Structure 1
Amino acid sequence: MKRLKYSLVLGLSTSIFLTLYISYKGKYNFNVILFTAVFMFIFITLISYFKMFAHINNKEINFQELKNIIYSGRANHYLNGIAVGGNLYLTDNQLIFQTNILNFIQKHECIINLKDVTLIEFEKTLGMVNNGLLIRTENGLKEQFVVTNREQWKNEIEKKQKIGL
C-alpha cells in the first residue's frame, strides 16, 4: 500500500509540475497539455512503483519506546554496506539506533545490549574521515556507526558499562 501511495503522489506531483511548466512556457493547445499530463502521470507512477519504491515492504515497523536516555545524537548506521541516517541513543542498558522519517526504504532499528559489547573501536569512514564507531559484541556481530564526537560516545558507553557491572 505504501508503494502505491508514494508512486501516486510522485506521479501526480510530477504531472502537475510539468503541466504548469508547459502551460507557462509553451504555446501548446489544451489537448497537447492534457495528453502530456496524463501520460506523465501514468508513466512516472508505473516507473516509481516498479523501480524506485520496489524495496518498500508494506509492514510497518514500530520502534520501541525509549526510556532513560543518557546520551543521544544524529548518526548513520551501516546496513548492508549502505549508511542509513537516523538517531543513536544510549540508555541504561542498551545502545539503540532508529532510522529517521526520510528512510522509508531501509527503515530499521538496531538494538545492542551493553552487556554484550566486547570492544568499541574508532574507524575512518571512506578511509579518511575520523567519525566511525565500530561496536563488537560477544556473538561476533560488528555494528558500524558514523557519529559526531565519537570519543564522547565511546566514553559514555564505557562509563555506562562500568556502572552496570
Structure 2
Amino acid sequence: MGTEKMSQIATQKVSYARAGIQMGLFFGLLMTIIFSFQAGRWDGGILPGIIAGTIFGTVMVWFAKRQASKMSLKRPDFGDEKIVLEGPANHFAGAEGVGGYLFLTDSKLFFLSHRFNIQNHELSIPLDEIQSVEASKTLGMVNNGLMIRRTPDLSERFVVFEHERWRDAILSAKANRTS
C-alpha cells in the first residue's frame, strides 16, 4: 500500500473520531438538558447525558465506518473518471437525511444511498452544473454541512466529515475541469 493511501486512511480515522466526539457532545448535551428536566434538578441529567452521548457518538462512528467499508466493496463503475474524494454522507431529500456515500470524480459529484433509507436514490451532479459550494453548519450548530448550488432555485444539501475539505476539493476539481 502506498504512502499516500496510508496517509489518507489515517486522516479518515482521525476525522471519524473527531466527528464521533462532536456528535456525542452535541447529543450528550441535549440529553443532559432533557434528563435534568425529567429529574427536576439541574444536576440530575449530567451522568445519564454523558453516558447517552458516549454511546451515541460511538454507535455513529461504528455505523459510518461500516458503511464506508461496504461502499468500498460496491463502488460504482466510473469508467475513465478519476475519483478525487469519497466518504460517507447524508443527502437531504426533502425532510429526510438519506444516508449513503458521496464520490467526487474529476467530472461529477455522485451520491449513492445505502439500502436502509425510505428514499433510496442516486444523484449525479456534473461539475459544470455547480454554481457554488459552501461549507455550512447543520442545524446551525455542527460544522459538517455542504451546500451545492446548481441554479439560483436548486440546491443540494449534504452532511459530510470534513466539510471544508469537500468544498475545497469540489472547487479545485471544477477549476481543473475548466482549465
Moved more, 154-163 or 134-143: 134-143
The corresponding residue for 1:88 is 102
Look up the equivalent residue of 1:112 and give its one-letter code. Answer: I
Structure 1 position 148 matched with structure 2 position 161: yes
Take 1:96 and 1:140, find their aligned partners in 2: how far apart are those partners?
20
Instruction: Give the count of matched residue pairs.
Output: 102
The corresponding residue for 2:93 is 79
Take 1:101 and 1:137, find their aligned partners in 2: how far apart are those partners?
26
Give the alignment partner of residue 77 of structure 2, picking from 29, 52, 65. 65
In the TM superposition, residue 137 of structure 1 has moved relative to its aligned partner by 1.0
Deviation track 1:63-113 (CA, whole Å, cap 9, x = no partner) reads: 96334211100000000121010000001211001001322x211011111
TM-score (structure 1 length as normaliser)? 0.58
Task: Please tell me the root mean square deviation across aligned C-alpha atoms, in Å.
Answer: 1.7
Deviation track 1:20-42 (CA, whole Å, cap 9, x = no partner) reads: xxxxxxxxxxxxxxxxxxxxxxx
Gaps of 5+ in 1: 1-62
Structure 1 position 122 matched with structure 2 position 135: yes
In the TM superposition, residue 159 of structure 1 has moved relative to its aligned partner by 0.8
In the TM superposition, residue 134 of structure 1 has moved relative to its aligned partner by 0.2
Bigger helix fraction: 2
TM-score (structure 2 length as normaliser)? 0.53
- Kindly, what percent of the aligned residue pairs are identical? 41
Between Structure 1 and Structure 2, whose CA radius of gyration is higher?
1
In the TM superposition, residue 122 of structure 1 has moved relative to its aligned partner by 2.1
Look up the equivalent residue of 2:148 and give its one-letter code. Answer: I
Give the alignment partner of residue 113 of structure 2, picking from 99, 106, 109. 99
Take 1:107 and 1:66, find their aligned partners in 2: how far apart are those partners?
20
Check 1:154–1:97 CA distance in 2 against 1; reply closer, same or farther (3 A cut). Answer: same
